[in-house]
Amino acid sequence: MNEQQRSILLESSDHFSPPPGVKLSYGTSGFRADWLVLQSTVFRVGILAALRSLKTQSVIGLMITASHNIVSDNGIKIADPTGGMLSQDWEPFADALASAPDSQHLAQLIDDFVKKENIPLEGAESAEILLGRDTRPSGKSLLEAAKQGIISIVGAIAVDMGVLTTPQMHWMVRARNKAMNATELDYFNQLSSSFRCLIDLIPQGTAANKMNGIVVVDGANGVGGEKLEALKRILNGFDIEIRNSGKEGVLNDGVGADFVQKEKVAPRGFGPADAGIRCASLDGDADRLVYFSVLSNSNNEIDLVDGDKILSLFALFIKEQLSTLNKNEGDKDNKCYQPTLGVVQTAYANGASTDYLKQSGLEVMFTPTGVKYLHEKAAEYDIGIYFEANGHGTILFSEGFLHWLDGRNSELALTSKGSEQQKAAMRLLAVSKLINQAVGDALSGLLLVEAILQHMGWSIHKWNELYHDLPSKQLKVKVVDRSVIVTEKAETVVVRPLGIQEAINVETAKYPRGRCFVRPSGTEDVVRVYAEATIEEAADNLASSVARLVDQFLGFGSS
């Protein structure tokens, strides 16, 4: 940094002093906390985004959101040039920046990092950062702080994209860096045209031709409801009703995918009158999607169709298309391409889903929680499908496979236009355009689920019958310091504090097919407990007894 750059940075940074005693770390989804303590963090992430843009010579995204958290929380995360999460090797720098005690330390950290990473500060005019926010009331002022951080690196440009879903932001960054059109309208047009293509390719004269009836969507009183309304207008004729679209009601309060998946009850605005209807729920920033149907004669109980079942549906469809595409081809003219296909889950995946996927002949891999891990693993395949049980996931297609598919499609269009093989190629190409290649996206996921259900001629009940979930229970435990927990083996084993894993094993062994793990949340100040067993009572008891263990080992000693 030259003298002028340094003095501009120092002056600007003096307006954003960190609150005393607050220590944040860049977790599964960036920084998250009560919005009142976030101004300086957000300012500093603005600086980081400008440096990242200079280092990569690409457009970077910055999203102000706390997704499923309560409305008084907020957060910030970075979208890297590919549209994915911030490269993990920059996370320690993010943590260091956030905890620098004052402007002088901050400037020193930046100087050292710029030297180490060889970042061309003199060409800062080439740095461009897209900024977006969800509908939280604190979003505007935090976005302004991020903007100040960006422009404190002299020459860097901040482009305010306004209110967006998180996946829209990731999509736009990816599109910009691929020199594609990247406005919100481009996003909607890509989704609607690829959805239409899939619908037009549904085989005639099958049960699939009967429209599947309405889908009713819970928008979590967040940005997703608002954007889905806009998409509905473009789709024109798609039978969808949106509730909890944010006009009234509190964000994520008794609504949204996180609530529905964890509590297993209908969100506000839904009740027994909806029994039998296909319903879906988005989370606060529309990067998660779950389906459900309300049970009749019940206390808002539901049949939950979670991320594991969305993954299973997608995997079945993709497998079907691949086998049609390669039918009767033989290897004689080398037209047969056997892409690698893999699915990625986390420890939260219901054991029944993993059994089902394996029995269906799929390769199943596990990673720790957090899309950054799942995405990385899925990208190792030609077609990698990843989903967390909470409804966060997508399908990734390798460039090589898409290139081959494109060529094959053109060839089939000339030699056997309208054949089943050509249709399968077109379907796969449409899926690759519909489903967000940057990150899990509830809006594109919803359209793909709807298209596949219609293709199969399936109701939500038929879909839900693919396999039966083992009963499971999730609990949160407030502790003094959740970072004391250290896990291994994709979060299935706790290695610190010593002794707790042995105690968990003893509890788990009491229940047939018992499975239980604990992990520190990356987005809330809690430890999460997951338990699974063959009957509901056993899953509940296992979760409660392990929650007590967590409290004994590192809690406030309340039990």
Active-site amino acid positions: 67
DSSP state of 17: P
Amino acid making up residue 512: P
Contacting residue, 261, 281, 367, 369, with ligand G16 by CB under 6 A: 369
Q: Cβ of residue 390: shortest distance to ligand G16, in angstroms?
A: 5
Contacting residue, 353, 524, 538, 543, with ligand G16 by CB under 6 A: 524
Task: Compute how many other C-beta atoms are within 10 angstroms of the C-beta atom of residue 468.
Answer: 10
181: three-class secondary structure by DSSP: coil
Q: Between residues 30 and 339, which has the closer beta carbon with respect to ligand G16? A: 30
Q: Between residues 390 and 492, which has the closer beta carbon with respect to ligand G16? A: 390
Backbone angles phi, psi at 293, to 5 degrees: -130, 140
Query: Judged by CB under 6 A, does residue 522 bind ligand G16?
Result: yes
Distance CA 411, CA 414 (A): 5
Q: Between residues 77 and 243, which has the closer beta carbon with respect to ligand G16? A: 77
Backbone angles phi, psi at 32, to 5 degrees: -140, 140
Contacting residue, 156, 279, 371, 434, with ligand G16 by CB under 6 A: 371
Q: Between residues 68 and 455, which has the closer beta carbon with respect to ligand G16? A: 68
Query: Judged by CB under 6 A, does residue 28 bind ligand G16?
Result: yes
User: Which residue is it, tokens 């899953």?
Assistant: 539
Distance CA 16, CA 149 (A): 9
Distance CA 335, CA 390 (A): 39
User: Which residue is it, tokens 């970042």?
Assistant: 119
Among candidates 407, 386, 383, which has minimal Cα distance to 397?
383
Contacting residue, 52, 68, 136, 482, with ligand G16 by CB under 6 A: 68
* Site string (468-507) toward ligand G16, x via CB under 6 A: ----------------------------------------
DSSP state of 398: -
Q: Which stretch binds ligand G16 (CB under 6 A): 13-21, 112-120, 363-371, 544-552?
A: 363-371
Q: Between residues 48 and 349, which has the closer beta carbon with respect to ligand G16? A: 349
Among candidates 263, 342, 344, which has minimal Cα distance to 300?
263
Q: How far apart are the first and last CA of the chain?
A: 54
Count of residues engaged in binding ligand G16, rule: CB under 6 A = 18
Among candidates 220, 208, 209, which has minimal Cα distance to 254?
220
98: three-class secondary structure by DSSP: helix
Query: Judged by CB under 6 A, does residue 377 bind ligand G16?
Result: no
Residues 259-288 binding ligand G16 (CB under 6 A) are: 283, 287-288
> What are the start-end ranges of the H helices in 326-367?
351-359
Residues 72-101 binding ligand G16 (CB under 6 A) are: none
Q: Which residues contact 243 (CB under 8 A, 6 or more apart)?
A: 216, 217, 218, 219, 225, 269, 270
Q: Between residues 190 and 369, which has the closer beta carbon with respect to ligand G16? A: 369
Q: Cβ of residue 285: shortest distance to ligand G16, in angstroms?
A: 7
Q: Which stretch binds ligand G16 (CB under 6 A): 109-117, 227-235, 294-302, 516-524?
A: 516-524
Contacting residue, 5, 13, 29, 324, with ligand G16 by CB under 6 A: 29
Q: Name the residues that contact ligand G16, by CB under 6 A.
A: 28-29, 67-68, 283, 287-288, 369-371, 388, 390, 392, 521-524, 528
